Amino acid sequence: MATKRQSVHGQWSSRWAFVLAATGSAVGLGNIWKFPYIAGENGGGAFVLVYLVCICLIGVPIMMAEIMLGRRGRQNPVMTMETLAKEEGRSTHWRLLGLMGVLAGFFILSYYSVIAGWALSYIFQSASGAFVGSSAETVGKIFGDLVSTPETLLLWHTLFMVMTMLVVARGVRSGLEKAVTWLMPGLFLILVLLVGYAMAEGSFAEGVNFLFSADFSKLNWGSVLIAMGHAFFTLSLGMGAIMIYGSYLPEKVSIAKTSFMVAAADTTVALLAGLAIFPIVFVNDLAPGSGPGLVFQTLPIAFGQMPGGLIVGTLFFVMLVFAAWSSSISLIEPAVTWLVEKKTMTRGKACVVSGIATWLLGIVTVLSFNKWSFEFTFAGHKKTEGLFDMLDILTANIMLPLGGLLIAIFAGWQMAKTSSIDELGMESTDLSYRMWRFLVRYVTPVAVIIIMLKAIGIL
Ligand code: PFF
């Protein structure tokens, strides 16, 4: 058994702190902004079903693998992969997997922060009553004005990046852990209120029907790839965020149990978000498949028409910001720890450096909605937001599944059985261990490879 290392950044105070932090990372714009609109674009029920299968068969096993690698390596993803590869007598090139993760987190945060900036600005729009009684046209104009003005987008993007880096700079216990202890309960409370509101005021049955009745004719391999990519994205897998959170996990905490809890909480939030949003969309006769504008363009029209819409709308965007904030800190944590451990920077300096780099890259997304916008087609959908859409596709549909595939190969094929048994705290005869190993060795790699090849038309 390897001697147990300790992370220089400290540890979560308990297993609950880890569950909250990992759930905070998982629950984000992906659940509340992205999931409803991609489910809408890909026909609802059948897509949701594929997504749920991906969560169970690919998501949970990869999450266990990532936490396991993180806790065993107890360093940033790059050095963790290097150290573990050495220990297992494998090529130290595995560190490139960690590096791809650090890079993916930095790419994702660059656009994530711009979208979170929209949500920030919408808190103020909504609270000021801008949507009350507004027509679709007026709401469309508010959204149009926001995305067509680079200076405004940049301002909100800057504010959100500052909020993110302020938390990260304070470290694991007084930064990340403290933030999620406030944000997550707040988020759940608002979500439950919103679902209650949708039940009382929306076409709840129609919403349920849209999310859960499967029409497979709408499904193609492109949508399957999007569903799988989203399973990775929503669980924060394939890029080292969960790995770095695992590196702060106390010994002895059961990795399998905590992974189930996090995946279940994340899925519940995505489905509840759908159940809060679609009934309101349907009762106002709006379209569910309206793309990234769904919660920013379609939903505010509904809020403007409904009783109590000002408060409900404002709460909705507060919830969206909470969700984005607790995720953004995990997107940049791998890069920050890498700068601290590898480049021997202080945490403060590492935050400034990575924050500025991400902020700069975010300008690409800011301009994608206006000056630099261009169109292309992906998986049968017309994409209009040029480089932003490309960054999203590159990260969610290529880098994360590829990262997940390599993590599965490392954990399943490169690591000795004794190492994974030791770190997961299981017996080789346990059914759960055997299932996990079977899934990471065969099911995940085969599924990821087939889906990716099918989606690009090679198979
Ligand atoms: N899981 C987050 C969401 O659903 O919004 C996004 C995310 C966070 C992706 C952290 C990847 C990651 F490492």
10-residue block means of pLDDT along the chain (459 residues)? 80 97 97 91 91 96 98 98 98 98 97 97 97 92 95 98 98 97 95 94 93 87 90 96 98 96 97 93 87 87 90 96 98 98 97 98 95 84 87 93 97 98 96 98 95 80
Ligand 1 atom closest to the CA of 323, numbered from 1: 5
Residue 283 half-sphere exposure, CB side, CA atoms within 13 Å?
A: 23
Residue 182 lies in a domain: yes
Calculate helix-pair angle for 255-283, 417-424, nearest 10 degrees. Answer: 70
Q: How far is the CA of 118 from the centre of ligand 1 (A)?
A: 17
**Alpha carbon distance 22, 413 (integer Å):** 26
The reply to whether ligand 1 has any atom less than 6 angstroms from the CB of 240 is no
DSSP code, position 383: E
Looking up residue 253, the CATH number of its domain turns out to be 1.20.1740
How many CB atoms sit inside 10 A of residue 168's CB? 26
pLDDT at position 143: 94
Q: What angle do CA 298, 303, 309 make, to 5 degrees?
A: 170
Q: Which of 266, 335, 308, 370 is nearest to 35 (CA)?
A: 266
Q: How far is the CA of 28 from the centre of ligand 1 (A)?
A: 6
Residue 8 lies in a domain: no
**189 contacts 410 by C-beta, under 8 angstroms:** no
Residues 73 and 439: their CA atoms lie apart, in Å, by 22
Residue 48 lies in a domain: yes
In the reported structure, the alpha carbon of residue 243 is separated from the centroid of ligand 1 by a whole-number distance in angstroms of 13
CA dist 445 → 90, 182, 255 (Å): 19, 37, 21
322 touches ligand 1 (CB under 6 Å): no
Among 299, 255, 275, smallest CA distance to 411 is for: 255
Ligand 1 mean position to 125 CA, how many Å? 26
Flag whether 10 is in a domain: no
Give DSSP secondary structure letters for 125-160: HHHTTTTTT--HHHHHHHHHHHHH-HHHHHHHHHHH
C-alpha 30 to ligand 1 mean position (Å)? 7
Ligand 1 contact, 236 CB (< 6 A): yes
Tell me, yes or no, whether 2 lies in a domain: no
Looking at the CA of residue 28, tell me the nearest atom of ligand 1.
Answer: 5
Q: Given ligand 1 and candidates 108, 244, 271, 336, which is best to mutate, with the most ligand atoms within 8 Å of its CB? A: 108
| Residue span of the structural domain in which 207 resides | 15-455
367-401 burial code (b ≥16 CB/10 A, e <16): bbbeebbeeeebbebebebbbbbbbbbebbbbbbb
Is the CB of 98 within 6 Å of ligand 1? no
30 close to ligand 1 (CB < 6 Angstrom): yes
Please tell me the predicted confidence (pLDDT) of residue 3: 59
Q: How far is the CA of 305 from the centre of ligand 1 (A)?
A: 32
Token pair for 399: 């880098």
pLDDT at 296: 94
Mapped onto helix, strand or coil, the DSSP state of residue 40 is helix
Q: Provide the domain count of the chain.
A: 1
Q: Residue whose CA is closest, atom 10 of ligand 1?
A: 236
454 φ, ψ (degrees, to nearest 5): -60, -45
Residue 4 in any domain: the answer is no
Question: What are phi and psi for residue 251, nearest 5 degrees?
Answer: -60, 160
Which 3 state secondary structure label does DSSP give 378? strand
Q: Could you tell me if residue 1 is inside a domain?
A: no
d(CA 98, CA 338): 10
Instruction: Give Cα separations from 175 to 17, 170, 317, 339, 430 (angstroms).
Output: 12, 4, 23, 18, 37
CA–CA distance from 99 to each of 78, 104, 199, 303 (Å)? 5, 9, 45, 43
Q: Which residue has the least CA distance to atom 7 on ligand 1? A: 236
Residue among 66, 114, 184, 233 to mutate when testing ligand 1 (max atoms within 8 A of CB): 233
Tally of CB atoms within 10 A around 16: 13
- Residue to substitute in 160, 234, 322, 328 for testing ligand 1 pocket (most ligand atoms within 8 angstroms of CB): 234
- At residue 298, the pLDDT reads 85
> Is residue 247 a contact partner of residue 169, using CB atoms and an 8 Å limit?
no
Ligand 1 site, residue 26, Cβ cutoff 6 A? yes
Ligand 1 centre to CA of 397 (Å) is 13
Per-residue DSSP letters for 78-137? HHHHHHHHHHTT--GGGHHHHHHHHHHHHHHHHHHHHHHHHHHHHHHHHHTTTTTT--HH
CA distance linking residue 232 with residue 396, whole number of Å: 7
Alpha-carbon torsion angle 391, 395, 396, 399, nearest 10: 150
The encoded tokens of residue 305 equal 């028409």
Both structure tokens of 243: 């790995």
Whole-model pTM: value is 0.94
Q: Which of 25, 35, 109 to mutate to test the pocket of ligand 1 (most atoms within 8 A of CB)?
A: 25
In a domain? residue 6 = no
Q: What is the DSSP string of 276-292?
A: HHHHHHHHTT--TT-GG
Tell me phi and psi for residue 441, to 5 degrees: -80, -45
Does 241 contact ligand 1 (Cβ within 6 A)? yes
Q: How many A from CA of 230 to the centre of ligand 1? A: 9
Joined together, the tokens standing for residue 432 give 């759960």
Q: What is the rounded CA–CA span in Å between residue 173 and residue 41?
A: 40
Q: Whose CA is nearest to atom 13 of ligand 1?
A: 236
**Residue 29 beta carbon below 6 angstroms from any ligand 1 atom:** yes
**Residue 31 CA, closest ligand 1 atom number:** 4
Q: What are phi and psi of 378, to 5 degrees?
A: -135, 130
